[in-house]
Structure 1
Amino acid sequence: MNSVLSYIAGLLVLLLFGALIGPSVVDWNSFRSGIEGQISEATGRHVTIAGDINFVILPTPRFRLDAIEVRPDADAAAFARADMLEGEIALTPLLRGEIEVTRIRARDFEVHLKRDALGHMNWASDQPDAVIGALDPADVRLDLVTFENGRLRVEDEPSGRSFEFADINGELKAGSLVGPYRFDGAFVLDEELYQLSTSIGAISGDRAFPVNFEFSSPRFKWKTSFSGIATEASLAGRLDGALQMQVGEARKVGELVEPAFMTAKAGFVLSRRQATFRDLEVMALGSPFKGQAVLAYDAAPVLTGRLGGANLPLETFAQAYRALDWPRVSSVVPNGLAGGFNLAVAETSYNGVRARDVSMDVAFEDGALNVKALRGEVPNVANAYLRGVVRMDNRSPRFDGTLTGRVLNLAHFDKWLLDVSGGEVSEGTRYASQASGRLDFETSLALKRSLYQAYGFSAIFEDETGTHAPLTGGFSWASQNGKPAFGLEMRGAYADLSFLAGLEARAKDVSAWDFSTLDGNFVLLVDDLKYRGLRYGDVNVSANVKDGVLSIVQAAAHDASAGTAAEGQSADTRVSVSGVLTSLSPQFVGDLSGVLNAPLAMTLAEDYLGRSLASAEAGMLTFRLQGSREQEGQENGSSPEDEDEIRLDVEGKVDGADVTLRARERRADGTAPRMEFSLKIGDPGSSLLPGLLHLPAGAVVEDGELLLTMVGDRTRTMETALLYRVAGAALSLKGDVANPFDAAHFVGRFEAKADTYARLAHQFSLTGRLSDLVAANGRDGAVLATGDVEWQASQLAVRQVEAVAGSFRVSGAAQVDWREARPVLGATLDLGRVSLAHLFDVENGASWSAYPLDWAFLGDASGEFRLTASGVDVAGLALDDVAATASLEDGVLSFSPITASFGDGRMTMGLKLEGGAGVPGVGVTLALEDAELDAATKMVFGAPLAAGTVTGNLQLEGRGRSQLGLVSTLSGRGHLTLRSGSFAGFDLLAFRQGVEGLQDIEQFTALADLTLRNGANGFDLVDGALGVDEGVLTFTGESGEVAGAQSTKISGFADLVRRELDVETVFSLVGQKPLPPLTMVLGGPVRALSRRMDSLSIQAAIAQRLLIKELEASGVKDVPEELLDLIVSPDVPSALDVPLDDALPEGGDARPSSASEAVGAGKKETEDSGAEQVVPETTSDAPAASVLDVPLPMVKPSRSRR
C-alpha cells in the first residue's frame, strides 16, 4: 500500500514542480530528465517517459505523460507501462496548500508482477519509498482515477501458476491518499468478463479498517462478496469477516421461489500464510451442507476440508448444473493445489430412487482430482465403489478408474432400473420382475465427453444353483466426426439378463432407432442365457451397423426352457434370425427371416400387443419379414412419390395347432396406410385356442378352427371379421376395430349358435351359476344368440341381445367395466319363464343341502340390474309377470323391489343376499295381497286346501354357511289374513245338523265320514300373527266367522328345516244344545299332509243323550245311581293326544265300530275318530244318502272374481 501511495505522491510532486517553473507554453520535454528524476525519487522506482510531456497550469492545472515505464531499478526490466497518463488538479485548493485531484486517467497500461524462483518480486527496489515530507497523504484527495484498457499479468515461478487480466477498466475514488477508497471496475480473465467492486476504509497506522468487496461473473451467474476488517495495512495483517458466494439465480415461479443453484457462507480469515473458512454452510438447491475448509499457501497451496449433508436430489441438481454456463479451465483443479476434501451425504435421490450413505474422498494432485473412494448404497438393491482420477484432456474432463460393486437382489435392481429410466407400469398393476439371485461386477472405466469405455469387464452371477463362471467383455462409445460409434462384446458360460426386462418399454420406441446416426458392432457369445423366465443355450449373436444398415450376421440359439413336446409334435427348439435392416422408423425397410419356437413366439406377440394371449409348450414357426420403399414417377412430370410396403408371413405349428399368419401393409405419400391381415388356426384338439380365448385351464376344443381377417388403416380403423368354429358350435364377430394394435376398440355384431347348450358349455368350458341356470332351463334345445357388441381393454358391452336356448329366452343389454378396482356390472334383461328349481336340488332326500354356500363371488364386483321375466318357478311356487331392480355393492346383492303376480294376487318382495368375505346371509321382506287361496295352497302344499283370498306379510333374516344352516337360523315376524272362502274336506254345519237328527249312535260314524271328510266349510275371516324363530314358523289366530262354528281357535307351527307342518284348530259348534269342541289337526310333511278330526267327545255326548232318551221312553223315572255313573261317563280321552305318526293303526281305520265303543264305561282308551290323507289330493266317493235322511248342504261361498 505504501508503494502505491508513493507513486501517486510522485505524480503530485511532478505537477507541483510544473506549476512553479513556468507557464503552460514551456516545452516540458526539455525537462524530461528532471521530471523523470523527480518522479523516480518520489516513488523509489526508476521511471522513464519516452513520449511527450505536457503541463497546463491555467485555467486548471493538468498534465499528460505519454509512454511512461516503471522499473524497480535503472537496469531492470519494466514491470509497468502506460501509453498515456493524464491528470487534473483543482487550482483553488492547491493555492491553499491542499491537493484535490479532480481526475487521473491511465489508458492502455500494462502491469507485470512476478515472483521468481528465489522469491524475489520484480517490482521490489532496494531504495526506500520517499514521499516528500512536505506532502501529507491525508491532505491529498483523489476525486476520480480512471483506468482504461489495462492489462495485468501475475506470475509465480515457484508454483508455476500465472494469471492474465485483460481489458481492465474501472474507477477509483479516495477521500485521501490514506483512504477511504472505493473501486468499481471490470476485467477479462480467460476470455470471460468479471466485475469487481471494493471499498476500503481509511488507513491510519496500525489501526484496523473495514474492507468490503464483491466479485461476480455476469455470464456464469455467480458472485462472491466479503465484508469484514483488515487488522493493519501490511502483510502482517489479516482480513477477518463474512464471505458469501452464490452460483445461479433464485427465481420466482408462480407463488414459489426456486432457490439458486448453490449458495455458501462462511467466517473468512485471510492471513499471510492461510485462509480459513470456518462454519462453512453450503446450500445446494436448498439442501443444506455444513463443514469447514482451510487453504494454506505458506509454501505450495493446500486446500483441505469436509462437507456433510442429509440429502442431495441428484436429478434436480444435474438438470440445474447443465442449465448453467461454466468457465473453461485448463485443469480440473488449479495447478499446484494440493490437499483433499471429504463429502458425505446421508441420502441422495434420482428420479425417486434413493441411495444412502454416499461418501467421497478426493485429493488434489497436479491439477487433477484424485477420487480416492466414492461409495454408496441403494438400499436392498446394490452397493458400488468407484476410484480413479479426473483430469483435463484437451480442455475437457476425463475420468480413468475402476468401478466395483454388488447387486444384492437382481429383482430389486430390475425395478430400480425401470424407475431410473422413467419407465411406467399399467395403472392398477404391480411390476413383477423375473430376475433372481445377485451379481458381483468389476470394470475399468475411461470416460470423457466424446468417449465412454468400460473395459476389462467381469460379472459373476450367483443364484440358487450356485456361483457361475464369469461373464467378460467390454463396451465403448465414441463420437467420430460428429457420428457416434459403439462396440459391445460379451462372452461367457452363463448370464441372467432378466434384470434388463424393465427397460424393454423404452427400447420399443422405434422412432429413436435411426441406424444412419451411428455405427457399431455387437457380439454376444453365451453358453447359457436366461431372460424373463426363458432360457437359451448356445447363444451366438453377431451384428453390425454401418452406413445406416443393420446387418444381423447371425443370431442363433436354442430355447432351453421349452417343455417336452407332446407325441407327434415337433421338439425343435431353435431360434434364429438373419438379414438386414435399413430403417425401423418411420417405415421398416429390410429383409429378415428365421425360425422361432412357439413359446418364444407367443411371448414376443404378447409383448408387442401388450396383453396376455396364451402359453405354448412346443412347436416351430418360420417367418419372413420384408419391408421396402419404392419411388414411382408421375406421368405429369412431378416429383416421384414414395410407396412403402411391409409383408409378414408366418407358418408352422403351436402345440399341435396349424397356424398361418399373413400381413401386408402398403402406404403411399399423402395416403393412409392400408393393411390386410389374416390369421388361421386349425386346432384338432389342442389347448391353443382355449388359451387364446381365455377359457378355463385344461379346456380342450374338438376340431376347432379360428379365422380372423382385418382390412384397413391399422393406426385408425380396420374392418374385422372373426369366426370361431368347434364341433356343434360357432361364434362370429363382424365390425370395426379402432387402434387394433394399440388400444383396440371393437364395435360390431355377434352371433353364437350351437346344437345344444350342453355342447356350447362343453366347448367353451362355461361353468358357474349363470351357466347352470341356462342349462336347467334350456335343456337340450338349440342355442342362438345375436346382438351388438362393443369391446375395449377395460370395457365390454352387449346391446339389443336376442338369445334362445331351448325354452329359455333372454333379451336386453349388459356391460362390464374393469377400470375400477373391482369390475362394475350392469344389465337390463327381459327373460321368458325361468325355473330356479336347480338351486334347491338336494341329494338323499334331504330337505336342504348341507353343501357349503359360497357367496364370496358377490364381493368381486359391483353393479346395477333391471330384470323382467314372464314367469319364475321356484320351490314349487309359480310367479308371473316378475319385475326386479337389483344392486350389487360391497358383497351385498339387494333386490328392491321384486314385484310379481302370485295366485292371481300381487306379491311385492325385497331380497338381500350377503356374500363377500363374511358368513352368507339373507334378508326377506314379503307382502302378498289378495291371492287366490286355492292356487296358493296347491302350489305350497300340493293340493288346494281352501278357497278364498289370502293377504299377508312376512319379514325374515338368517345367516349360515349352507342352505341347511341358513334356514335353521331364520327369524322374523309377519301377519296372515284369509277372507271370504271355504276350507276343503269338511262341513261343520252339515255335521252339526246331522248330529241333531241322530236317533241311533250307530249312525254317528256314517255321519262323520260324510261331513267331516267331505264337503267344504265356508268362512268369512281367519286372521292371525306369524312368528319365526330359529327356523320354526308359528301362527296364532282366532276367527268367529267360520260357518258351523260359534268360535274358532287356530294355532300351528311349521318346521322350515324339516319342511313339516302341524296346525291345530278347535271349533266350538253352533246349536242350541251344546256339544264338546271339535278339534282338527293338519300335519305332516308339507307336500304330504294328513288331516285328523277328534269327534270322540262329541260321539260320547250324543251316546249319553240317546241312552237317557231311551230310558225316559221306557218309563224309567228313577235311574239307579250305579247305572247313572255308567251313563254319565268321564271325558273320553282324545285321540289327538296320540302322536301324529301313531294316530292310525297300521292298515286300519280308527273309527269306533259301535256306539258301545264310543259311549262305554269310559274305562277303555279309545282311538282317533279318523285321519285322512289330504296331500297329495285324493277323492273318495260319499255315501249315496245319509243314514239319517238329513239334508247335508255343501257350503259353496259366492264371491266376485277380480
Structure 2
Amino acid sequence: MNNTLTGLGLALVLALFAALIGPLFVDWSAYRDDFAREAGRLIGAPAKVAGDVEVRLLPTPYARFHGLSAGDGKRRLAVDEVEIELAFAALLKGEFKAERLLLRRPKLEIEINADGAVATPFTAKRAAGDADRISFDRAEIEGGAIVISAPSGRYQLHDISGVAEAASLNGPLRFDGAGSLSGARSALRLSTSRVEAGGSLRFKLEVAAEGRPETVTLDGALTSGPRPTFDGAVAIVRPAGRDPQGSDPWRATAALKGDARRLAIETLDIVYGPDDRAARLSGRGALLLGGAPSFDLALEGRQVDIDRLAESSEPTPGGRIATLGPRLAGLTRPPFGGRLAIDLGAIVIGGDLAQDVSAVLLARKDGWRIERLSAALPGGAKASLSGAVAFGGGGPGFAGPVDLDVADFAGLRRWIAGGARVAAGPARRISLKGDVTARIDAVTIDNADLTVDGAGSRGRLAWRSAEDTRGRPAIEAALASDRLDLDALGIDRAVFDGLKGGDFDLALTLDARSLVFGGVGMSGVALEGLVDSRALTLKRLNVADAEGASVSGAGRLALGDGAGDGELKLSAAAKSAAPLAALVRAVGASEAVAAGIETRGEALAPFRLAIELTTDSGGAKLAVKGDAAGGTLDLAASSAEISLNADAALQATLATPDGARLATLAGFSVSPLAAAPGGSLSISLRGSPAKGMAGKTRMTALGLDLGFQGDMAYAADAGARADGVVTLKGDDLVIFAEAIGRVTPGVLPPTPAALTAKLKTDGDETRLDAISGTISGRRVAGALSVPADARKGFSGDLSFDRGSLSELAALAFGPDALGQSADRRSLWPSAAFGPSPLRGLTGRVNMALGEADLTANRIARDVRFALVAKPNGLALENLSADVEGGRLTGVASVGRQNADASVTLDVALKGARAEQVVGAPSPLKGEIEIALQAQATGRSIAGLIASLNGAGSATIAKGAIAGFDPAAIARIEPQVEAGLALDASRIAEAVERGLGSGDLPLARATLPFTIAAGSLRSGALKAESSVARLDGGATLDLPRLWLDADLMLAAPSRDAPQVGVSFEGPLSGPRRRVDATGLVNWLSVRAVERETKRIEAMEAEMRDRARIAREKADAARAAKAEEARKRAEAEKRADAERRKQEAETKALLDALPQPASKPDQPQSVPPAVRGDAPQTRPEPALPLPMVISPLSR
C-alpha cells in the first residue's frame, strides 16, 4: 500500500514539473493559427494572430498574443497585444473565466451604409454555448479606439481606457473609463443587460466631458440585425451648481426611435434655468443621419419669462438679453444643418409681454438664418423680419429686411427704455421698413421708409458704437420728409445730449416742410450739421417759422480743447419766448427753470437779436445786440472756454420805459392794473460761473432801487449760488406792491423803506440774514429763509418796534377791508374783503412787536406770535401779549376762499384790570379773566361779526361794581316809615340815588356766555359777595355793540327784597334803569304786617286783662270753695274723732266691773268723752298732688 501511494505522489510531482517547465520548451508561435481559429470561433469572426504567442499553465494558465485582428477594411477589429489569465478551476470545468484581461491599443472600425445598414467585423455567429462559457472579472483597455465610417463623414472615439467586467459574452457587461472625441476628453460609463433571444440588448451609456458640467445619457434597447434599431431615451443635463462660470442649469430629454438613417424624436422636453424660474419648451422632430445629417424640430411653449431667467438689474429688454446671451453662447453654432420652428404664446421681457412669437430658423454650417420671425410687441407693435444671422469674432450679426408697425410708439419706447419715463406726447403710429444690417456694435437701415402718423420720410439711419468707430458712438440720420416729428423718434434727446457734452457724435441732414423738434413746431426747415467731440458744425440752418420765431445762420463752434477757431452767426426774431422755453424743457431742465425762462422771456418779446459766437485760442466770446423788452439790449460775454469752470466776464444792460418787463425779468409777477415806471437792469460779473463770479447787479424800476454786490456762481449739479449784500431803497414800497399785484392800487398810504441784508443762496434755499432798516420809520430786524421749493415754505424771525392790529387784519383780509362802513346796521367795516397780500404763499415767521395798537387808545406790549402763511389763509399761533396789566394768549386763524373768509379764535386774557380793559369811566373793578372760542364766516368784517358763533366766559375776582351799593335797598324802608310814599317811581328814584352812594364788593363773579349769529347771550351769573346777592343775565348785539342786561340785586338773606337793575343802550354808555316793583310790593307787605301786629297787640292786651279778671274771680271762687271744703273736712274729722272717743269710752266702761248703783243713776263719763268736750282745731288741708310729665307746664 505504501509503495502504491509513493508511486502516485511521484507521478503527480513529475506531472506538475512537466506542466511548469514544459511550456518553456514549446514553440507556441507555431500554433498561432490554432489560437486564431479558436479565438475567431469564440468572438464570431475570422481572426488572425500576426505576432508572437506566449503560454504557460502554472501557477495560473496565462496567454499573451501580439497582433490579433478580425475583419478588414472599414469593419475591422485589431488589438496590438492581448494578455489573459484564466481561472484554473473554471478551466477544468471547460469554462473560460478570465481573472485578468488586458487589451492594449484595441481598435474597432464600424461602417454605416447609406441605407442604414451597419457592418462590423463580427459577421459570423459564435459557436453555440461558447459565449456563455466565457467571462472575465476584470478587463483592462489601454489606448483603445472606435471608428465609425458613415456617408456624412468619419467619427472617431480614441484614447479609450478603462475597466470592464462581464458575466459572459452575452452580458451583462459593465465598463467604466474615458475617451476622447474631437479633442475633448470625456468620462464613459456603459452597462448592458444580457442579449435577449431576439437579439435585443438593453444598455445605458453615460458621457460626461471633462471640464464641462453637462452629462449625456442614452438609455434604451438596441436590436441587432442588418439595420440595427434603437428604441429608448436620451437626456442631456447640466445640473445646478456644477458650472464654475455660474451658467444656468438646463436639461433636454426626448424619446428616440429609429435606425442609423433616421431617429424620430418624440416628447421632446427642454427646461432651461432653475426649476422655480425655468423656461420650458416641448416639441418633436427627427434627426436625419444620412450623407448630410440634419434635424427638423418643432418647439412650442406657453410663456417664457426672460426677466426672471436673466436675473439682471438692467431693466431694459436689451439689457436682459445681453445678460442672458453669454449663457447661451454654446447654442450659436449648430453641429449640423436643420430646421427649427418655435412658437411661443408670450415672452416676459423688460416688464412686459412679447406675444404670439413665431419663428422658423434654418441652421447652416456658417450659422443660423431666419426664414421667418414675427411677434407682437408692447405698444401695439408688430414686427416681422427675415435674413441671415451670423456669429463671428465680433459677435452675432443680422442682415435682412425688417418691417415694424407701432400703434403706440410712446409705449414701445417706454418698454425699450425699461419702463423709464419718456417725453410726454400723444400716442403716435410709427411704421418703419428698410434693409437692416446689424451687428453688436452697429446698426444701419438703408432704404428706410419711415411713416409717423401718416407722414412719410425716406432716407438712411445708422448707429455705430465706440468699438466700431474706434472713438465715440455715432448716430447718423439723413431724411427728407413732408412732415416729421423728431421728438417722437427720440432724436431731440440725442441732439441735446450731444450739445451737453454727450459721448457720441451726431450727423443730421434734414429737409422738411414741417418739423417738430424739442416740442416746437417748425416749417420750412433745412438743416445740415454735425456734432462731435471737437465742434458743432452747421453747414446750413434755416427755420422759416418756429411758432412765431425765425432762425437762420451757419458756422462752426469749437467745443473742445485744440478744436481750433470757430465762428457761429445767428439771427433770431420772435414774438414770444414759447419756442425757447419748449427747447429748454426738451433739454431736460427742470420745470421751474423752463417756467422761469418762459415767464422772463415773455418780458423780452418781441425781440430781434443778432447773435455772434466766436471761439479761438483765447476762448469764446458772445455778443448779443438788438431790440428787446420794449427797449434796447446790449450783452457781451467772454470765457476762456465754453465751460462753467472757466473764467468769464459778463456785461449786460437792458433799458426800457416799461418797468413791468424789468420786474418780470427780475422774477416778479406784475399786475396789469398797476402803474409800472420804467428803468434799467444792469449786470457786471467776472469770474468762474461754477466757482464764483464777483460783481454787482442793479435794478431801478417800480419805485425801487434794488442792488446786490457779492459773489454769484452756477453749477449744473448744484444750481445757482450767491453770497453778498442786498440793499433796497424806495420812497414808496406801495408802488412795488401794487405793481406785483399784492395790494389793490390806491388803498395804502406811501410807505418809504430803507433796508439792507446779507443774502446767501445755494440753490436749495435763499437766506436773508442781518436784516436791518426801517419801514415807514419803524425799525426792522431779523432774518428770513426762502427755500427753492415753494411748497416747503419760508421761515424766519422778524422784530418791529411798533405795529398794529389793523395791519395784521390787512394781511388777512386785504387793506381795503378796513374801509368805513356804509351800513347803519353795523358799527363794523362792511367793505368787501380784498386779496390777501400773502395769498398763495406758505411759510412761518416768528414775529415780535414792541408795541401794537389795538384801538385808537389801547396798546398791547411785548407782542409775540408765529405768523403762519398758508396758500388759502393766515394764522397767528402761539400768540402772547401784555394787555392792560394782563397776558393775552391764544391762536387765531383765517381761511380764504375767493371773497369769503372764515375765522377761528381761541384766546384767553388773564390777570388784566377790569377798569383798564373796559375803559374810564369803568363800572367794573378788579382782576378780570376772559376766555373765548368762536368761529365766523363772511365777506366783510361786519359779515364776520354778524355770523360769529362760539362760547366763552368772563370772570372778575377781588373786585367791585361801581355805583351799585346794595345798602341802598335797606335804606328805603326807614324812608317809607318816615313818610316816603309807596309809589314805584318814587321808590325807584330813591334806590337809584342810593345805588350811587357806594360799590358792590365781589369776591368772584363768573358770567358764561354763548355767541350765535353775532349775538352774545350770557348764562346765569354766578356772583360771590358777602353783602348782597346778584343774579341776572345780559345780551350783547355785537354788530351794533348794543347791550341789554337785566340784573337782580338783593341782601344776602333769601327773604330779602330784590331790586331789578337793567342796562340798555350802546356798550360805551348804556342807560341804567331801576325796577323797584318788587321792592314796593315788599314794602307794602311790610306796612300791612306792621298794622296787623298793632291790632294784634291791642287784642292781646284786652285778652290779657279779661284773663286776669277771670283768673282773679276764679281764684276767689277757688279760695271760698277751698275754705268750705276745709271746714267740711274739719267737721268730718271732728265728728269722727268724737265718735272714736265715744267708742273708746264705751269700751272702757264696758270693761270695768259694774258698781252697785241704782239703775236709773247715770254713769259718770269723762269729760273728754262727753259731747260737751271742748272743740279741737281742724287739721290744715294738703296741697293738690303734683303731676310730673313732659307735657306739664
Q: Same fold (TM over 0.5)?
A: yes
Q: Which amino acid aligns with 2:346?
A: A
Give yes or no for contact 1:87–1:101 (8 Å, CA) kept in 2. no
| Structure ranking higher on relative contact order (CA contacts 8 Å, 6+ apart) | 1
How far did 1:494 drift?
0.4
Match for 2:519 among 522, 527, 533?
A: 533
Q: For the residues of structure 1 that align with 2:969 and 2:777, how far apart are their CA atoms?
A: 49
The aligned residue for residue 296 of structure 2 is 302
- Cα pair distance change 1:514/1:793, threshold 3 Å: closer
1:246 maps onto 2:238 in alignment: yes
- Cα pair distance change 1:971/1:562, threshold 3 Å: same
Match for 2:217 among 211, 215, 226?
A: 226
Task: Give per-residue Cα distances to partners, 1:839-890, cap 9 Å, x unaligned.
Answer: 46265335476968999999985x6653322233346653221123577899
Match for 2:1071 among 1074, 1083, 1091?
A: 1091
1:556 maps onto 2:541 in alignment: yes
- Cα pair distance change 1:486/1:168, threshold 3 Å: farther
The aligned residue for residue 734 of structure 2 is 758
How far did 1:757 drift?
1.3
Q: For the residues of structure 1 that align with 2:818 and 2:236, how far apart are their CA atoms?
A: 89
The aligned residue for residue 829 of structure 1 is 798
Give yes or no for contact 2:606–2:629 (8 Å, CA) kept in 1. yes
Give yes or no for contact 1:897–1:909 (8 Å, CA) kept in 2. yes
In the TM superposition, what are the counterparts of 1:61-210 in structure 2 within 5 Å?
Answer: 72-73=72-73, 78=74, 85-90=80-85, 97-106=96-105, 115=112, 123=119, 128-129=123-124, 131=126, 135-136=130-131, 139-141=134-136, 143-146=138-141, 148=143, 155-157=150-152, 162=153, 168=159, 170-175=161-166, 177=169, 178-187=171-180, 189=182, 193=184, 195-205=186-196, 206=198
In the TM superposition, what are the counterparts of 1:1041-1120 in structure 2 within 5 Å?
Answer: 1048-1066=1030-1048, 1077=1059, 1079-1084=1061-1066, 1086=1067, 1089-1094=1069-1074
Match for 1:390 among 388, 391, 402?
A: 388
Give yes or no for contact 1:1067–1:1077 (8 Å, CA) kept in 2. yes
Q: Secondary structure at the match of 2:755?
A: strand
Give yes or no for contact 1:655–1:686 (8 Å, CA) kept in 2. no
1:337 maps onto 2:338 in alignment: yes
Match for 1:523 among 490, 509, 518?
A: 509
Give yes or no for contact 2:659–2:702 (8 Å, CA) kept in 1. no
How far did 1:831 drift?
2.8
The aligned residue for residue 8 of structure 1 is none
Give yes or no for contact 2:446–2:459 (8 Å, CA) kept in 1. no
Q: Which amino acid aligns with 1:498?
A: D
How far did 1:929 drift?
2.9
Match for 2:770 among 783, 796, 800?
A: 800
In the TM superposition, what are the counterparts of 1:954-969 in structure 2 within 5 Å?
Answer: 954-958=931-935, 960=937, 962=939, 964=943, 968-969=947-948
In the TM superposition, what are the counterparts of 1:1003-1018 in structure 2 within 5 Å?
Answer: 1018=999
The aligned residue for residue 955 of structure 2 is 976
Q: For the residues of structure 1 that align with 2:1082 and 2:780, how far apart are their CA atoms?
A: 65
1:866 maps onto 2:853 in alignment: no
1:731 maps onto 2:706 in alignment: yes
- Cα pair distance change 1:44/1:439, threshold 3 Å: same
Q: For the residues of structure 1 that align with 2:1039 and 2:491, how far apart are their CA atoms?
A: 59
Give yes or no for contact 1:173–1:183 (8 Å, CA) kept in 2. yes
Q: For the residues of structure 1 that align with 2:855 and 2:406, how far apart are their CA atoms?
A: 66
Q: Which amino acid aligns with 1:318?
A: I
The aligned residue for residue 1119 of structure 1 is none
- Cα pair distance change 1:899/1:1076, threshold 3 Å: closer
Give yes or no for contact 2:45–2:123 (8 Å, CA) kept in 1. no
Q: Which amino acid aligns with 1:409?
A: D
Give yes or no for contact 2:253–2:269 (8 Å, CA) kept in 1. yes
Q: Secondary structure at the match of 1:560?
A: strand
- Cα pair distance change 1:119/1:694, threshold 3 Å: same
How far did 1:936 drift?
1.8
Q: Secondary structure at the match of 1:695?
A: coil
Q: For the residues of structure 2 that align with 1:24 and 1:748, how far apart are their CA atoms?
A: 122
Task: Give per-residue Cα distances to partners, 1:602-642, cap 9 Å, x unaligned.
Answer: 5555647643332245434444445566xxxxxxxxxxxxx
Q: Which amino acid aligns with 1:926?
A: V
Q: For the residues of structure 2 that align with 1:163 and 1:649, how far apart are their CA atoms?
A: 81
Give yes or no for contact 2:101–2:138 (8 Å, CA) kept in 1. yes
Q: For the residues of structure 1 that align with 2:116 and 2:971, how far apart are their CA atoms?
A: 151
- Cα pair distance change 1:597/1:1038, threshold 3 Å: same
What TM-score do you get using the length of structure 1 for normalisation?
0.70
Task: Give per-residue Cα distances to partners, 1:949-1007, cap 9 Å, x unaligned.
Answer: 341232313354656368625122313216545648999979989996999999x9999
Match for 1:909 among 879, 890, 900?
A: 890
How far did 1:271 drift?
3.6
Q: Secondary structure at the match of 1:844?
A: coil
What is the total number of aligned residue pairs between the two structures?
997
How far did 1:529 drift?
0.4
Q: Secondary structure at the match of 1:321?
A: helix
1:496 maps onto 2:454 in alignment: no
- Cα pair distance change 1:739/1:955, threshold 3 Å: same
Q: Which amino acid aligns with 1:1064?
A: D
How far did 1:388 drift?
0.5
Q: For the residues of structure 1 that align with 2:486 and 2:145, how far apart are their CA atoms?
A: 64
- Cα pair distance change 1:859/1:724, threshold 3 Å: closer
Match for 1:844 among 809, 822, 825?
A: 822
- Cα pair distance change 1:507/1:543, threshold 3 Å: closer
What TM-score do you get using the length of structure 2 for normalisation?
0.70
Q: For the residues of structure 1 that align with 2:282 and 2:840, how far apart are their CA atoms?
A: 59
Give yes or no for contact 1:1082–1:1090 (8 Å, CA) kept in 2. yes
Q: Secondary structure at the match of 2:953?
A: strand
1:280 maps onto 2:266 in alignment: no
More helix by share: 2
Q: Which amino acid aligns with 2:105?
A: A
Calculate percent identity across the aligned residue pairs.
Answer: 12
The aligned residue for residue 251 of structure 2 is 264
Match for 2:550 among 553, 573, 589?
A: 573
Q: For the residues of structure 1 that align with 2:482 and 2:1041, how far apart are their CA atoms?
A: 75
Match for 1:740 among 715, 722, 725?
A: 715
Match for 1:1020 among 988, 1001, 1011?
A: 1001
How far did 1:558 drift?
1.6
Match for 1:949 among 913, 926, 937?
A: 926
Output the aligned Cα RMSD.
5.6
Q: Secondary structure at the match of 1:90?
A: strand
Q: For the residues of structure 2 that align with 1:591 and 1:494, how far apart are their CA atoms?
A: 31
Q: For the residues of structure 2 that align with 1:389 and 1:333, how far apart are their CA atoms?
A: 17
Give yes or no for contact 2:966–2:1049 (8 Å, CA) kept in 1. no
Match for 1:542 among 528, 532, 535?
A: 528
Q: Which runs of 5+ in 2 are unaligned?
A: 1-19, 308-316, 1085-1193
- Cα pair distance change 1:683/1:792, threshold 3 Å: farther
Q: Secondary structure at the match of 1:173?
A: strand
- Cα pair distance change 1:377/1:400, threshold 3 Å: same
Q: For the residues of structure 2 that align with 1:263 and 1:928, how far apart are their CA atoms?
A: 84
Match for 1:883 among 848, 852, 864?
A: 864
- Cα pair distance change 1:680/1:387, threshold 3 Å: same
Q: For the residues of structure 2 that align with 1:222 and 1:593, how far apart are their CA atoms?
A: 67
Q: Secondary structure at the match of 1:703?
A: strand
Give yes or no for contact 1:495–1:526 (8 Å, CA) kept in 2. yes
Task: Give per-residue Cα distances to partners, 1:621-667, cap 9 Å, x unaligned.
Answer: 444445566xxxxxxxxxxxxxx844444444455464455444448
Q: For the residues of structure 1 that align with 2:24 and 2:653, how far apart are their CA atoms?
A: 117
Q: Secondary structure at the match of 2:658?
A: coil
Q: For the residues of structure 1 that align with 2:494 and 2:469, how far apart are their CA atoms?
A: 31
